[in-house]
């Protein structure tokens, strides 16, 4: 009768330690000691300790002094009757190979100094069974044997994933962000803010995970219609079972569909050059190595300032590619829904081509400074995306702060996008093209204001303009703007309307062009002055006027109604659509926590 | 006698909150910051402090609720409990808004406002409190709609807990955790809740009837005494003391069926624990403790089997040989 080989039983805890530490250190070896007890012929490993030592790609030296320190620390927390103690050694092999002659020699040397059998575990990722076990034992007369041992460990607590259901990929669905909370949250938040500002709907656990078991809810989110995924890879992702066992396999399955786009946001620095990322890192930390599953995909370097923008551009263009055939076929406008006030979330994924959202403000009436910074980064991309869609018309709906409306208009200039339509809350269309049925009731009127104060040569540069498109405008806040300004203005004017109480949407094309003309004239008479623009009027008009600001440098103000003082105009943005990186070149609202 | 020392240690580490330990203070900070930023509440001298099982270190995995006790020492006496709960709602709702389903994250409760943190899967309960006339204790709203207040002293409980723990060589806090875990395993979401069992455990310790020389003895002794306190509460209506307010007993909301079920389950649990401790067979004892303590918030069995036993409690034939207490001397090179 042949005796079955002795077994090394590995606990879940020991298995996780060895697998994650090995993944973390690849392509170098790592290792440590095995703790547990012997049960008959078998060795039960309850814990694995990692011992820092000298490590290379084919060598690992385990230091006994450090090992004893860590073992002593471990034993201090154990009960006095606990049998757990040193039972062997473990180390990793970066290539899928078993114990080497050096390994066997090391174990024989250990066996000489210890009476009981000792285990060696080699962890070699890439093999079907990555653990190879050896039990070395000293016999009578000093004879030492090393025999292969079976290695057993508990199966994963995650049940296998079922097949991907139909409809799991949806061109207009949200973008899923997968990350490790402990060190990936800042990257995930930053990417989320930019994607939302660019017009993509995002699924994020913190706002979109419903009550219930996390794993079930995640599975629903991953299978009910996503357009793209961003996998944020940070050093601690090696410890994320959820990303490794659930999110990653699903994202890879989804990525097999050409309508899906998977972006890898790599934040693993390359050894020796912290500004470049290690393209092998994602496979290694997610235990896919030595396969190059993620290394062979495009990765964006999160350690460089352009990394996030690259992801936003890729996903925006992916969205346009998905939509372009339909837009062309139907000859329909490119639709953008805008919202700058409520907190955004994933339910918004709908029929619109883009859905621009910025972070909700901490500060009452003003838009969020952080949100505007995001918009500053993404608006040039959005303008390109609309252009690339080939649509003749861009149709905007929703609602926004007026400074944002002017900026969106400036991102869709008449020189680039033929026509812009704005759908108001009553479903009226305001368009930049003057229709034949323009009732011609409303006219534009401009009035110069007399300015007090000394004139210096520099004041030639600044013109303050108040556009008030409601009858009997309240000019108090604008007067405060003039009065409180630290630098004087060369000229100030009010552009208002006459002839009607309310602008008819059919007049919007003619009126927006006329108002833009007046603004440009006022700027020109003062040597192409910087325009300081306070706007009071319908939101569609702000978008349509914004389209004509391309030759100007405009400081856009936002009306701020404070509880403690009178209302005033605060500078929000600087628009310079003609320059690189425009239309927003500066954000003047203070951002971040506790905006004031 | 099966004392299973290491298994009790492992059970305690299995119910120890993990990520919540960092998320809970963060969620608390966000709520505190929102309240402290309000001008009116600042006028009332707003001074929030963390209380509850989390603060007393007796919470178990997973922490779902964090309690913030919001002291308002300068609040005028004409502000009713409804007024202040309304004010809290206004401040917290303005700060935390709605979740992705459009549901408000801030929910009114009888005596507090609950703010949900979906990203951490936990809730913060903000309880407004005004000073009691004695100048030492506090009053919190009793019901939201009427101006009723009830006296309380949650900070007192925090210090009493630490004192009791010190007096029992550090066994009080882990015993409370094990009792709370037993309650969770035996009663699930049914009332009475963990707070009742914590105070019953405190009373049991305070009576001098709980003792032991290791965790198993403490657990069994406390469980036996707590089951008696529960029996007296259910059968004879003898209240459980609030140790922070002389002469006061705590109020709980549990139906008669729930109380009867709790009484029976705990009476059985006490017998079963006592038998397990007396049991010579460690496997049988471990199986009994395993049943009493159930599974943790990660769905893992809290009480492990000792070495050499199968999961059904039966002993394997092989003998156990302990691992070495030292790593053999000498550096070792592997390749």
Q: Are residues B141 and B187 in the same domain?
A: no
Helix (H, G, I), strand (E, B) or coil at A462: strand
Based on the fold, state whether residues B146 and B255 are members of the same structural domain: no
Domains A175-305 and A439-587 share a fold: yes
Q: Is residue B74 part of a domain?
A: yes
Say which of B3, B316, B324 has its CB closest to residue A85: B324
Q: What single-letter DSSP state applies at residue B101?
A: T
Strand partners, A524: none
Is B108 domain-assigned? yes
CB contact under 8 A, B100 and A207: yes
Instruction: Assess A475–B contact: CB distance below 8 Å, yes or no.
Output: no
In a domain, B6, yes or no: no
Q: Which of A118, A343, A360 best probes binding to B when mutated, by most B CB atoms within 10 angstroms? A: A343
Using a CB-CB cut-off of 8 Å, the residues of chain A touching B119 are: 205-207, 209
B192 closest CA partner among B174, B203, B179: B179
- Say whether residue A52 is in contact with chain B using an 8 A CB cutoff: no
Same domain, B173 and B144: no
pLDDT over 70 (residue B213): yes
Tell whether A433 is within 8 A of chain B (Cβ): no
ipTM of the complex: 0.82
Number of domains in chain B: 2
Please indicate if any CB of chain B lies within 8 Å of the CB of A47: no
pLDDT (average), residues B252-263: 94
- Boundary (domain end) residue, out of B152, B167, B194: B152
Q: How close is the nearest chain B Cα to the Cα of A287, in Å?
A: 21
A595 touches chain B (CB under 8 A): no
Choose the mutation target among B297, B327, B328 for the interface with A, i.e. most A CBs under 10 Å.
B327
- CB B56: neighbour CB atoms within 10 A? 20
Distance CA A407, CA A387 (A): 17
CA distance A42 to chain B (A): 9
Residue A596: its pLDDT value, please?
31
Separation between Cα atoms, residue A219 and residue A231, nearest integer Å: 16
Do B105 and B176 share a domain, yes or no? Answer: no
A6-35 pLDDT tens trace = 999 999 999 999 999 999 998 899 999 999
Is residue B305 situated within a structural domain? no
Helix (H), strand (E) at residue A325: helix A307-330
The DSSP line for B164-216 is HHHHTTT-HHHHHHHHHHHHHHHHTTPSS-HHHHHHHHHHHHHTT----SSHH
Retrieve residue B35's tokens. 């309240």
Spatial separation of the C-alpha atoms in residues A377 and A354, rounded to whole Å: 16
The CA-based angle A140-A67-A244, given to 5 degrees, is 110
Closest CA to A165 of A250, A55, A266, A271: A250
Q: At residue B255, does pLDDT exceed 80?
A: yes
Instruction: Check: CB of residue A402 under 8 Å from CB of residue A539.
Output: yes
Average pLDDT taken over every residue of chain A:
89
Set of chain A residues whose Cβ sits within 8 Å of the Cβ of B329: 64, 113
Rounded to the nearest 5 degrees, what angle is found at the Cα of B249, between the Cα atoms of B247 and B252? 170
The sheet with strand A393-399 has its strands ordered as A354-357, A334-339, A393-399, A419-423, A429-431
Summarize the confidence of residues A199-216 as an average pLDDT. Answer: 70
Tell me the average pLDDT of chain B. Answer: 92
Q: Say whether pLDDT at A1 is over 90.
A: no
Q: What is the pLDDT of residue A366?
A: 83
What sections of A416-557 are H helices per DSSP?
A: 476-484, 508-524, 539-546
pLDDT tens profile A380-430? 999 999 999 999 999 999 888 999 999 999 999 988 888 999 999 888 999
B99 touches A: beta carbon within 8 Å: yes
* Residue numbers of B between 282 and 321 with CB closer than 8 Å to A: 299, 307-308, 316-321
CB contact under 8 A, B99 and A85: no
Asked whether the beta carbons of residue A36 and residue B98 sit closer than 8 angstroms, the reply is no
Instruction: Write out chain A residues lying below 8 Å of B322, CB-based.
Output: 37-38, 83-85
Name the residue of chain A whose CA is nearest to B105's CA. Answer: A207
Mutate to test the interface with B, among A28, A39, A102, A117 (most CBs of B within 10 A): A39
Helices (H), A152-280: 181-198, 205-208, 214-223, 241-242, 248-255
Q: Which of B94, B125, B152 is the last residue of a domain?
A: B152
pLDDT, tens digit, 9 for 90 and up, residues A323-334: 899 899 999 999
Same domain for B239 and B190, yes or no, is yes
What is the structure's pLDDT at B25? 86
**Which of B133, B152, B171 delimits the end of a domain?**
B152
CATH class of segment(s) A175-305: alpha beta
A95 confidence band (pLDDT: 50, 70, 90): confident
Percent of chain A past pLDDT 70, that is, above it, reads: 92
**Residue spans per domain, chain A:** 7-152, 175-305, 439-587
Tally A–B CB contacts below 8 A.
Answer: 144
Residues B32 and B146 in one domain: yes
List, in order, residues 6 or more apart from B74 with CB less than 8 Å away. B43, B44, B45
What pLDDT is attached to residue A592? 42
Question: B335 and A100 in contact by Cβ < 8 A?
Answer: yes
CATH of domain A439-587: 3.40.50
Q: What is the CATH number of the domain that holds B130?
A: 3.30.460.90
Of B97, B307, B332, the CB nearest to A106: B332
Please name which of A275, A273, A276, A297 lies closest in space to residue A286, comparing C-alpha atoms.
A297
Question: Distance between CA B136 and CA B154 in Å, rounded?
Answer: 11
pLDDT category, B299, cuts 50, 70, 90? confident
CB of B39 less than 8 A from some CB of A: no
Q: In this complex, do A81 and B6 lie within 8 Å of one another by their Cβ atoms?
A: yes
Structure confidence by residue, pLDDT tens digits, A244-284: 999 999 999 999 999 999 999 999 999 888 899 999 999 99
pLDDT given at position A341: 72
Question: Comparing C-alpha atoms, which of A477, A482, A483 is closest to residue A560?
Answer: A477
Asked if pLDDT for residue A127 goes beyond 90, the answer is no
Tell if the CB–CB gap between A91 and B334 is shorter than 8 Å.
yes
Q: Same structural domain for residues B46 and B137?
A: yes
Residue A471 has pLDDT above 60, yes or no: yes
Asked if residue A583 has a cis previous peptide bond (ω within 30° of 0), the answer is: yes
In tens, the pLDDT along A518-560 reads: 999 999 887 888 999 999 999 999 999 999 998 899 999 998 8
Nearest to A547 by CA among A581, A580, A494, A508: A508
For residue A113, list chain B residues with Cβ-Cβ distance below 8 A.
328-330
Domain-embedded: residue B57: yes
Query: Which residue intervals of chain B are DSSP H helices?
Result: 5-15, 20-36, 39-43, 52-55, 81-96, 154-167, 172-187, 194-206, 215-236, 256-278, 282-293
- pLDDT interval class at A563 (50, 70, 90): low
Residue B260 domain boundaries: 157-278
Burial B287-300 (b: 16+ CB within 10 A, else e): bbbbbbbbbbbeee
How high is the pLDDT of residue B309? 95
d(CA B88, CA B140): 13
Answer whether residue B317 shows pLDDT above 50: yes
Is 90 exceeded by the pLDDT of residue B100? no
Q: Based on the fold, state whether residues B107 and B173 are members of the same structural domain.
A: no
In a domain, B201, yes or no: yes
Q: How far apart are CA A395 and CA A398, in angstroms?
A: 10
Q: Which residue of A has its CA nearest to B317?
A: A40
Residues B141, B54, single domain; the answer is: yes
Measure CB to CB from residue B324 to each of A60, A114, A347 and give the nearest one: A114
Cβ of B331 within 8 Å of Cβ of A37? The answer is no
Q: Indicate the DSSP class of residue A347.
A: G
Q: Are residues B226 and B136 in the same domain?
A: no
**Amino acid A556: pLDDT:** 96
Q: Is residue B193 part of a domain?
A: yes
Fold of A7-152: Cytidine Deaminase; domain 2 (3.40.140)
Residues B268 and B148 in one domain: no
pLDDT grade, residue A595 (50/70/90)?
A: very low
Classify residue B25 by burial, with Cβ atoms within 10 Å: 0-12, 13-18, 19+.
middle
Is any Cβ of chain B less than 8 angstroms from the Cβ of A56? no
Lowest mean pLDDT among A45-54, A103-112, A358-367, B77-86: A358-367
Nearest to A476, CA basis, from B240, B180, B187, A484 = A484
CB distance A8 to A37 below 8 Å: no
Any domain includes B312? no
């Amino acid at each position: 009768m042949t005796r079955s080989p002795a077994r090394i039983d590995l606990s879940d805890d020991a298995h996780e330690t060895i697998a994650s530490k090995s993944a973390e250190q690849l392509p170098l070896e790592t290792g440590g000691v095995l703790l547990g007890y012997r049960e008959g012929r078998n060795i039960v490993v309850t814990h694995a300790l990692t011992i820092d030592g000298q490590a290379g790609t084919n060598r690992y030296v385990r230091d006994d002094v450090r090992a004893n320190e860590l073992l002593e620390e471990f034993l201090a927390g154990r009960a006095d009757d606990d049998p757990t103690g040193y039972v062997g050694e473990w180390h990793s092999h970066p290539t899928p190979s078993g114990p080497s002659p050096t390994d066997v020699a090391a174990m024989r040397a250990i066996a000489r100094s210890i009476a009981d059998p000792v285990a060696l575990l080699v962890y070699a990722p890439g093999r079907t069974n990555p653990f190879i076990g050896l039990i070395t034992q000293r016999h009578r007369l000093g004879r030492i044997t090393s025999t292969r041992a079976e290695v057993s460990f508990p199966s994963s607590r995650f049940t296998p994933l079922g097949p991907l259901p139909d409809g799991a990929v949806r061109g207009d669905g949200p973008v899923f962000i997968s990350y490790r909370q402990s060190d990936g949250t800042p990257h995930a938040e930053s990417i989320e803010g930019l994607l939302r500002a660019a017009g993509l709907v995002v699924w994020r656990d913190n706002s979109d995970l419903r009550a219930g078991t996390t794993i079930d809810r995640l599975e629903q989110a991953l299978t009910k219609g996503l357009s793209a995924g961003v996998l944020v890879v940070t050093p601690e992702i090696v410890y994320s079972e959820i990303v490794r066992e659930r999110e990653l396999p699903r994202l890879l399955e989804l990525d097999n569909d050409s309508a899906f786009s998977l972006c890898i946001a790599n934040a693993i620095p390359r050894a020796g050059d912290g500004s470049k990322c290690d393209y092998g890192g994602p496979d290694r930390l997610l235990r896919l190595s030595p396969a190059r599953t993620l290394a062979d995909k495009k990765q964006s370097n999160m350690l460089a300032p352009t990394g996030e923008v690259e992801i936003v551009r890729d996903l925006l263009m992916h969205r346009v590619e998905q939509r372009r055939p339909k837009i062309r076929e139907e000859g329909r406008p490119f639709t953008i829904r805008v919202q700058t006030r409520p907190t955004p979330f994933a339910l918004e994924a709908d029929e619109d081509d883009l859905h621009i959202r910025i972070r909700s403000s901490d500060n009452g009436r003003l838009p969020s400074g952080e949100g505007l910074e995001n918009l500053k980064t993404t608006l040039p991309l959005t303008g390109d995306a609309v252009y690339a869609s080939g649509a003749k018309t861009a149709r905007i709906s929703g609602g926004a702060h007026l400074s944002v409306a002017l900026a969106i208009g400036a991102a869709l200039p008449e020189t680039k996008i033929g026509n812009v339509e704005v759908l108001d809350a009553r479903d009226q269309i305001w368009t930049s093209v003057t229709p034949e049925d323009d009732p011609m009731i409303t006219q534009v009127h401009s009035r110069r204001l007399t300015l007090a104060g000394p004139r210096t040569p520099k004041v030639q540069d600044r013109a303050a303009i108040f556009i008030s498109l409601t009858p009997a405008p309240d000019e108090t806040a604008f007067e405060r703007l003039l009065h409180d300004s630290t630098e004087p203005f060369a000229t100030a004017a009010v552009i208002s309307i006459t002839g009607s109480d309310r602008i008819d949407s059919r007049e919007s094309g003619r009126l927006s062009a006329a108002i833009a003309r007046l603004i440009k004239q006022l700027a020109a008479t003062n040597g192409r002055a910087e325009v300081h623009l306070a706007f009071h009027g319908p939101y569609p008009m702000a978008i349509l006027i914004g389209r004509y600001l391309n030759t100007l440098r405009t400081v856009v103000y936002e009306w701020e109604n404070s509880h403690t003082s009178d209302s005033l105009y605060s500078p929000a943005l600087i628009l310079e659509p003609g320059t690189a990186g425009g239309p927003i070149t500066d954000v003047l609202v203070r951002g971040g926590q506790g905006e004031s | 006698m099966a004392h299973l020392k290491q298994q009790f240690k492992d059970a305690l580490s299995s119910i120890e909150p993990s990520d919540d330990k960092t998320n809970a203070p963060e969620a608390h900070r966000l709520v505190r910051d929102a309240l402290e930023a309000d001008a009116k509440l600042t006028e009332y001298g707003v001074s929030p402090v963390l209380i509850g099982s989390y603060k007393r270190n007796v919470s178990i995995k997973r922490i779902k609720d964090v309690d913030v006790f919001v002291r308002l020492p300068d609040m005028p006496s004409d502000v009713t409990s409804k007024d202040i709960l309304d004010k809290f709602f206004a401040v917290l709702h303005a700060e935390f808004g709605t979740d992705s389903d459009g549901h408000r994250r801030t929910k009114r409760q009888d005596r507090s406002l609950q703010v949900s943190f979906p990203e951490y899967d936990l809730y913060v309960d903000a309880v407004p409190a005004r000073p009691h006339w004695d100048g030492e204790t506090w009053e919190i709203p009793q019901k939201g709609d009427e101006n009723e207040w009830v006296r309380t002293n949650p900070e007192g409980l925090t210090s009493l807990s630490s004192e009791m723990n010190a007096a029992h060589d550090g066994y009080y806090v882990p015993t409370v955790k094990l009792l709370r875990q037993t309650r969770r395993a035996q009663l699930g979401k049914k009332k009475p809740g963990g707070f009742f069992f914590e105070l019953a455990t405190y009373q049991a310790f305070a009576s001098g009837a709980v003792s032991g020389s290791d965790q198993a003895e403490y657990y069994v002794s406390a469980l036996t005494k707590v089951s008696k306190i529960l029996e007296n509460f259910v059968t004879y209506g003898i209240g459980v003391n609030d140790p922070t307010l002389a002469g006061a007993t705590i109020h709980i909301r549990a139906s008669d069926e729930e109380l009867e079920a709790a009484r029976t389950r705990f009476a059985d649990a006490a017998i079963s624990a006592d038998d397990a401790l007396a049991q010579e067979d460690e496997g049988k004892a471990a199986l009994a403790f395993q049943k009493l303590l159930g599974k943790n918030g990660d769905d893992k069995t809290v009480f492990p089997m000792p070495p050499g036993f199968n999961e059904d409690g039966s002993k394997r034939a092989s003998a156990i040989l302990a691992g070495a207490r030292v790593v053999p001397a000498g550096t070792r090179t592997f390749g």
